[in-house]
Amino acid sequence: MNDVPERIGQSKNWLERAAENLPGYRGYKERELRREADKLQRDFIAERLEAARRQMEELELALSRMGNLELLGQIDATARKLRTVFDRFRYADYGYAGMFDAVKVDQEILERLYEYDVQQQAQARSVQELVGVLQADSPSLRSDVALLDERIEVLDEAFAEREHLITGIGR
């Protein structure tokens, strides 16, 4: 996923390549392509998080079948945090700013947003991998879920930095 902007650029048709020679169009189109690449990155991250959330539902089901209900509250709270982070990535602002918008998003910020989202891929994979090894009958399930909860919070806090890049303010 790291070469998304290059692949988008390579997929241009002859009309798009010809239009790049129009004054002002090239910069506009580059920003649009950067926004599209950023959205693809965020979608990739969101897919990893959604897969982890579905695995957590399976874990909850396995625990309830075993009659081990004491951890369901902790796991459910962690699953809700995961869903919140998923929603934040899936529906995040993608850096569009109209001509008269109060907050302008320039090419440099779009580059930083994309780089940020690339870095978040590793964290999302880490969350998905940890959820993948959780077992309902594991004696360390409580501490493993606590570790997962911490990783989700780190990902959520890092997302606030992304919002700060666009708006200049925290959440």
Question: Which domains are delineated in the chain?
Answer: 4-167 (1.20.120)
The pLDDT value recorded for residue 3 is 65
Task: Using the predicted structure, report yes or no on whether residue 9 has a pLDDT greater than 90.
Answer: no
The pLDDT value recorded for residue 24 is 64
- Assign 92 a pLDDT band (cuts: 50, 70, 90): confident
Q: Tell if the pTM clears 0.95, that is, is over it.
A: no
The pLDDT value recorded for residue 124 is 93
What rounded mean pLDDT belongs to the chain?
80
| 135 close to 103: Cβ distance less than 8 angstroms | no
pLDDT (mean) for 91-111: 59
E-only strand ranges, the chain: none
| 48 close to 124: Cβ distance less than 8 angstroms | yes
Mind listing the pLDDT tens digit for each residue in 145-158? 999 999 999 999 88
